[in-house]
Structure 1
Amino acid sequence: VTVIPGMELCTSEEVHVVCLFDGLKNAESFSDYVLSTVPPVKNRPEIFGDQLIMDAEDGIIGTQELLLTTASGISADNVVKTVGEYGGFCYPAHIDRSSYSIISNLGMITPEMNFTAVEMTENADRDEYEAKHPIIKNMPVYVSSDAHYLENMREASHTLEAEENSIKAILNAMKNSR
């Protein structure tokens, strides 16, 4: 199993974008940048739950005080460029969902956004989305359950051909697959 460091970013328009990085240091640097752009709203654990900081052995080493469900200061128009500056690759998450998706919130994906892939949930009608949004016809579509807990993740049903089992090769295959 190869673990790819990443996050699901909430843009300033409240669009969720999957951001994957070529290494942990770049992911952490991007995370620090994102935190510098979010409003200084404190988390209320009794409402939103604890936001725990874990170590490599799953031990709790702290809590994140800022509320992480707020939108960042990174726009959908700039997210591809910004993530790329940190060695990352990104694509709009769950575009078929009725909330926090680029389609539900902005109504479209424009060429100027520079996205080269999208994510849909497993029950989405890809043909319907391609008919309404022709820009995605030539993009890879990643299928995801948007699971937030390990027990909700499904068995793999799709494959991705990469030159080798490394983060760099997998991200390269994701960027260039059709």
Structure 2
Amino acid sequence: MNYKADFHNHSCLSPCAGIEMGPITLVNRAKSLGIKILGLTDHNSARNTPAFEYLAKESGILPLCGVEVTTSEEIHVLCFFPTSGEALDFGNLIEKALPRIPLNHEKMGEQWVVNKDEEILEEVDFYLGTATSYGIDQVEKLCHDLGGLFIPAHIDRPTSSLKSQLGYIPQLNYDGFEIQLSPEGLNTGITPLVKGSDAHHPDMVGQRTCEIDLPQLSWEALVAYFQSFSRV
């Protein structure tokens, strides 16, 4: 069965996202658009994945608890995990690899951690939108060691992508690639291509989606889907 998927979305934890972009808003917007596979990928942190996971499951949506990591090369990569537990473990490792730049609301934005009722639990007081000290090869290993899916983000974008930063696709164990436009002209072998809205505000959710053919709506089926393709 084909399921509508949106792999790349932010919440109010990301400094560049709107404060209105709480997990309830994200999940409700996705549900209204018929999205059944939904990713939450805040910058360099997974602290809002527990609330997101609960709300998505309640709405019949498969939650992809993830992180959008900025590597030391300034490449954005999406890392997804079976549950918010693994995502939080991974996120803690990524946060420890960030420089402690004090958060300045006026210049950098706000970074709110919320619960399933969108009540504020805390604010992350160091800037999440910068590069970690991990290279892309290290991030790939950390992700897979925790049972995750490793998907470089928006590889066809002229900034913060594999192509823009390196000029080529290095030999790593990719599970897929996220694209923003058409796959035409992209030399990725037969590694699967997925899409995500990179939504920072509610009206952006669902702007870029893809269809994933799965026998059932589950993490295990999604992993099997990616593993059915040959690697680059």
TM-score class normalised by the smaller sequence: 0.7 to 0.9
In structure 2, what residue type is equivalent to 1:56?
A: K
Equivalent position to 1:120, from 179, 189, 208: 179
Distance (whole Å) between structure 2 residues aligned to residue 153 and residue 172 of structure 1: 26
Distance (whole Å) between structure 1 residues aligned to residue 228 and residue 134 of structure 2: 25
Is structure 2 residue 181 aligned with structure 1 residue 129? Answer: no
Distance (whole Å) between structure 1 residues aligned to residue 92 and residue 175 of structure 2: 25
Higher relative contact order (CA 8 A, sep 6+): 2
In structure 2, what residue type is equivalent to 1:119?
A: E
Distance (whole Å) between structure 2 residues aligned to residue 157 and residue 11 of structure 1: 25
Distance (whole Å) between structure 2 residues aligned to residue 30 and residue 110 of structure 1: 23
Distance (whole Å) between structure 2 residues aligned to residue 127 and residue 159 of structure 1: 17
Is structure 2 residue 140 aligned with structure 1 residue 80? Answer: yes
Question: What is residue 8 of structure 1 aligned with on the other side?
Answer: 68
Distance (whole Å) between structure 2 residues aligned to residue 156 and residue 108 of structure 1: 24
In structure 2, what residue type is equivalent to 1:152?
A: M
Contact 2:195–2:208, Cα closer than 8 Å, also in 1: no
Is structure 2 residue 206 aligned with structure 1 residue 149? Answer: no
Contact 2:73–2:165, Cα closer than 8 Å, also in 1: yes
Distance (whole Å) between structure 2 residues aligned to residue 23 and residue 144 of structure 1: 19
Is structure 2 residue 207 aligned with structure 1 residue 176? Answer: no
In structure 1, what residue type is equivalent to 2:163?
A: I
Distance (whole Å) between structure 2 residues aligned to residue 8 and residue 139 of structure 1: 20
Secondary structure in structure 1 of the residue aligned to 2:164: helix
Secondary structure in structure 1 of the residue aligned to 2:64: coil
RMSD: 1.8
Is structure 2 residue 71 aligned with structure 1 residue 71? Answer: no
Instruction: Give the alignment of 1:31-110 within 5 angstroms.
Output: 31-110=91-170
Distance (whole Å) between structure 2 residues aligned to residue 38 and residue 64 of structure 1: 12
Structure 2-normalised TM-score?
0.68
Distance apart, 1:177 and its partner CA: 4.5
Structure 2 unaligned runs (5+)? 1-60
Secondary structure in structure 1 of the residue aligned to 2:90: helix
Distance (whole Å) between structure 2 residues aligned to residue 110 and residue 37 of structure 1: 22
Distance apart, 1:85 and its partner CA: 1.2
Structure 1-normalised TM-score?
0.87
Identify if the C-alpha distance between structure 1 residues 103 and 164 changes in structure 2 by more than 3 Å, giving closer, same or farther: same
* Structure 1 residues 72-104: Cα deviation after superposition (integer angstroms, max 9, x where no partner): 122112222110111211111001111111110
In structure 1, what residue type is equivalent to 2:219?
A: I
How many residues end up aligned between the 2 structures?
A: 170
* Structure 1 residues 99-158: Cα deviation after superposition (integer angstroms, max 9, x where no partner): 1111101111112x222311110x34x23222xxxxx12111112232222320226753
Structure 1 unaligned runs (5+)? 131-135
Distance (whole Å) between structure 2 residues aligned to residue 177 and residue 155 of structure 1: 26
